[in-house]
Amino acid sequence: MFEIIKDQVQNIKKIVVVTGAGISQESGIPTFRGKDGLWRNHDAMKLATIDAFYDNPELVWTWYNERRANIFAAKPNPGHKAIAELEKYAQVSVLTQNIDGLHQKAGSTEVLELHGSIIKIKCSVCDYKEEITSEFSEIPPICKCGNILRPDVVWFGESLPQDVWQKAMILANQCDLMIIVGTSLVVSPANTLPIYAKQSHTTLIEINPEITEMSSEMDLVVRDTGANSLPELVSLFKQN
């Protein structure tokens, strides 16, 4: 399956893994765009924009609380675990669009959460931020400054945290191998990360059961899930 890099393995020192909702789907977390996606029964524009939040913060918070309960019950699958295991053989950086924390649960040590984290909150006005440790007694929760708290995630129309994005671009430019797993590559600016890597003549591997926007640009396309295929990639490193 990964024969294209068999002769390169010993020279691969820096790996960047770009992940999307597809890798977590096998852990029981629905994707947004698949046939059973999260948006199927909801209007995304009523749930994931700052305007929607101010229009109906109780609805948005209720939905995120339900998502959080689902995520907390989920466990890393063999795809997450394989990515963590790759750290035995190279420097591995995970650039994820997911907000579920499963890469960290699997043992990955360098995870850049491009779209934030569902277990973190921040004030909609002041600089207050923290992790959620328990359920809120009131919805929506209120900050000490008197304004509404919100999930610390990136909503449609919002910019990515600039410090995280700058580091992600640097890592994409400097890696020897980029593996893109379970992302449709339609969400900007995360979908530009393979372009940065390609400009540096990095080997690009896409793992996705479906064709994506950039499949034709890849050096290798694996039409399978991360849970099925990534353990085989780890085996290739073990052999060298």
The annotation status of 65 as a binding-site residue, yes or no, is no
- Catalytic residue numbers read 115
Q: Which of 153, 146, 194 is nearest to 173 (CA)?
A: 194
The annotation status of 175 as a binding-site residue, yes or no, is no
The rounded distance, in Å, linking the Cα atoms of 38 and 67 is: 9
Give the per-residue pLDDT at 45.
60
- In the chain the domains, ranked by start, together with CATH numbers, are 1-27+76-115+160-240 (3.40.50.1220), 30-73+120-153 (3.30.1600.10)
Give the per-residue pLDDT at 183.
95
Q: Which residues contact residue 230 at a Cβ distance below 8 angstroms, ignoring those fewer than 6 apart?
A: 78, 79, 82, 83, 179, 181, 207
User: Which regions of the chain does DSSP assign to beta strands (E)?
Assistant: 14-19, 91-96, 111-113, 116-123, 129-131, 149-153, 177-181, 203-207, 220-222
Give the per-residue pLDDT at 216.
96
Give the per-residue pLDDT at 33.
53
Helix (H, G, I), strand (E, B) or coil at 181: strand
The annotation status of 226 as a binding-site residue, yes or no, is yes
The annotation status of 203 as a binding-site residue, yes or no, is no
The rounded distance, in Å, linking the Cα atoms of 68 and 48 is: 15
Strand order in the sheet with 203-207: 111-113, 91-96, 14-19, 177-181, 203-207, 220-222
The rounded distance, in Å, linking the Cα atoms of 94 and 103 is: 8
Determine how many CB atoms are found less than 10 A away from the CB of residue 55: 11
Give the per-residue pLDDT at 111.
98
The annotation status of 54 as a binding-site residue, yes or no, is no
Give the per-residue pLDDT at 36.
52
Q: Which residues of the chain have pLDDT under 50?
A: none
Give the per-residue pLDDT at 133.
80
Instruction: Provide the whole-model pTM.
Output: 0.92
Alpha helices in 99-202 (DSSP H): 102-106, 162-174, 193-199
